[in-house]
Amino acid sequence: MSSRTLRTPLLTWVIALAVVTVAAAGFTLATVSALRDEAARPVAADLRLIRALHELGDAMSRVRINAVKAAFSIERSQRDEVDWQSVRSQARVDAAFASIKAILAEGQASTSFMPILEARWQDYAKAQEALVPASLLAPRAQAVPQDEILARLNELVNVVTSNPYGELVATLSAAMRAVEADATERLTATDAILGRVVPVQAATAVGVLALCLGLGLFLVGRVTTPLAKVAASLERMAVGDATEPDGLTDDRREFGRIAAHLERLRTNMRLGQKTEAERRTLSQTSDWLQSAKSEEELYSMVSTVLSRLIPECRGALYVYSGSRDTLDLAESWNDATGPETIHPDDCWGLRRGRLYVHGANPVEFRCGHVHEPDAQHYCCLPILAHGETIGLLHLAHGSAGPCDATAFAESRRLGMLAAEHIALAIANMKLREQLLDQSIRDVLTGLYNRRYLLERGRSEFLRAQRLGAPVSLLSIDVDHFKAFNDNFGHDAGDTVLRAVSEVLQRGATPTGVACRFGGEEFLILLPGTAAPEAMAQAEVIRREVETLTIRYAESDLPRISVSVGVAAYPVSGQTLQEVMRVADATLYEAKRGGRNRVVLSEDPLAAREEAQAG
């Protein structure tokens, strides 16, 4: 997860919070406005009351004006007009006073003047009722007699000029002033309160918005960025990269604790990656070791692998000899020096049958096979395979300076892991060689068998054809072996065959191959040897067999002899089969000539024809 990917939802959240805050501030302002309207309702009622009082005053003024008009009206038509205007004006007075009472009944307008106004109105009404009958004040639908109109107008004039009327008018004027003052005071108080609330609310909204922005910046700086680093670190670790630090080092914060855990996780990952790399290396090493064709190649591979796997240590590999009384140096690396042969009792690791570390314990003893004066820190690892010790791996600290105990412990650990693979490879190699040896060796004599000779012979003849080199073949048969076997038994015959085989093994050149071809017949393959040299070598073998003294059942057996036929490539033939047939033919010729002799065909072509005819 990138920093941008992680920062986007947090910024969205901050913006949403700011929008909600602004909406809340707007709602609060709307609420304040509603409260202001609610507070202004009594003021509005006062204003309506003022208008009603004005209406009442205006109506009463009309009544007074009409009374004056009536006093000066002479003609009948004028008096009729004044009569109707007086009736309408009085109706307006009644309606205005009813409106005032209705407004006051709502309970919102000021009512301080109402008692006195009510009293003056009652006085006015009584004076009017006393002076003017109710019938005269009612509207008329038809013409009124002149004298009646005149009486009515006079009465109205008396009313509006009476003392209750004047007092009502004065009280009405005082009420209007009181209501106006009360409304003004309420409006001023409301505006003062709202004037204080609105700035506070605005300041609160601005403060909340600033808080949101500050929180957003805090989240971006102290949460988003560290989380982005953590996410990036986890992404790197997810793909196996445990090398780059995450940059979170402040242990005073929670992210510091997260960084500490991540560092431990990264350390464990590095150890795991190192262990995995070592496992792969050792697995590849095991594959290479298992594919070695010989012990020499195997030991060379071990030297190469360990010199690279543990470069800070000198090392040597010892393997038990066939007699298992000594261990022979198989290979060494990194300029290691040591004896070519050691005795098992010279090594504390072999004597105790487990890993021995020198230089790490207060009580310790130097191994007898360690002669370097600076070898104070070393270890000996017995190599075990199938419960049997087959060798020894010796590792020593490579430099003359102080030894790093941790590094040397790591070297020992790698050495122990490598020793397991080395032990398995050596055991498998010896097993393969043993099985191969059993498949190509004759069980009775220890010589190579017929199968091996044919395979080796074909390869040597191909090589000779390619290089133009000679190849000789000796065909050997023990004289009168069937009669010897019949007279002395098969055990005695086996003893004779083993004795002859030892002579043939010694008589073969270092490159020669002696084999038992079947029964008492033997073949010796001599690569790079011409016919004359092969003839001389065959004669040496014949003489040595002739001089053998073989003891069996506490007595000496009669002397034995062999007959030998010699053939050579390319004179006697071009292939192994052709040369073998010529060698057999010359062998039969030696037998016909009296046995105990070596014969080389004088006429190879005739010998081949005779062998083919036979």
- 384: which strand partners? 389
- 476: which strand partners? 522, 564
- Tens digits of residue pLDDT in 215-266: 666 666 666 666 677 667 766 666 666 665 555 555 445 566 666 766 777 7
pLDDT score recorded for residue 165: 64
- Tens digits of residue pLDDT in 526-585: 999 999 999 999 999 999 999 999 888 888 888 999 999 999 999 989 999 999 999 999
- Identify the band that residue 450 occupies on the pLDDT scale cut at 50, 70 and 90: very high
pLDDT score recorded for residue 324: 85
Question: Directed axis angle between helix 146-160 and helix 114-131, to 10°?
Answer: 150
Query: What would the mean pLDDT of 486-490 be, rounded to a whole number?
Result: 88
- 563: which strand partners? 477
Measuring CA to CA, how many Å separate 41 from each of 100, 187, 444?
16, 10, 133
Q: Taking CA 46 as the corner, what is the angle to CA 43 and CA 49, rounded to the nearest 5 degrees?
A: 155
Q: 260 Cβ partners below 8 Å, 6+ apart?
A: 251
How many CA within 13 A on the CB side of residue 118? 7
- Tens digits of residue pLDDT in 122-162: 776 666 655 444 444 444 445 556 666 666 666 655 655 56
pLDDT score recorded for residue 269: 72
Range 443-613 has CATH code 3.30.70.270: yes
- Identify the band that residue 401 occupies on the pLDDT scale cut at 50, 70 and 90: low
- Pairwise CA distance, residues 496 & 486, whole Å: 13
More confident residue, 528 or 27: 528
More confident residue, 478 or 195: 478
Q: Residue ranges of the domains in the chain?
A: 3-203, 242-291, 295-438, 443-613
pLDDT score recorded for residue 257: 67
Pairing of strands 598-600, 562-569: parallel
Q: pTM of this prediction?
A: 0.51
pLDDT score recorded for residue 582: 93
pLDDT score recorded for residue 374: 64
pLDDT at 71 over 60: no
Mean pLDDT (the chain, rounded): 78
Query: What would the mean pLDDT of 423-435 be, rounded to a whole number?
Result: 85
Q: Give the residue carrying structure tokens 């709307």.
A: 30
pLDDT score recorded for residue 465: 93
Burial group, residue 58, by CB count within 10 angstroms (0-12, 13-18, 19+): middle
- Pairwise CA distance, residues 249 & 246, whole Å: 8
pLDDT at 430 over 60: yes
CB 562 within 8 A of CB 477: yes
- Tens digits of residue pLDDT in 587-602: 999 999 999 999 997 6
pLDDT score recorded for residue 251: 45
> What DSSP string runs through 11-71?
HHHHHHHHHHHHHHHHHHHHHHHHHHHHHHHHHHHHHHHHHHHHHHHHHHHHHHHHHHHHH
Tokens of 255: 């992210």
Collapsing DSSP to helix, strand or coil, 560 comes out as coil
**Fold type of domain 295-438:** Beta-Lactamase (3.30.450)
Q: Taking CA 51 as the corner, what is the angle to CA 48 and CA 57, rounded to the nearest 5 degrees?
A: 145
Query: What would the mean pLDDT of 314-342 be, rounded to a whole number?
Result: 90
pLDDT score recorded for residue 406: 81
Q: Give the residue carrying structure tokens 């982005």.
A: 228
pLDDT score recorded for residue 3: 47
- Tens digits of residue pLDDT in 77-116: 666 776 677 777 777 777 877 777 777 676 655 566 667 7
pLDDT score recorded for residue 500: 94
pLDDT at 606 over 60: no
Hey, which of 254-263, 344-353, 408-417 has the most confident mean pLDDT?
A: 344-353
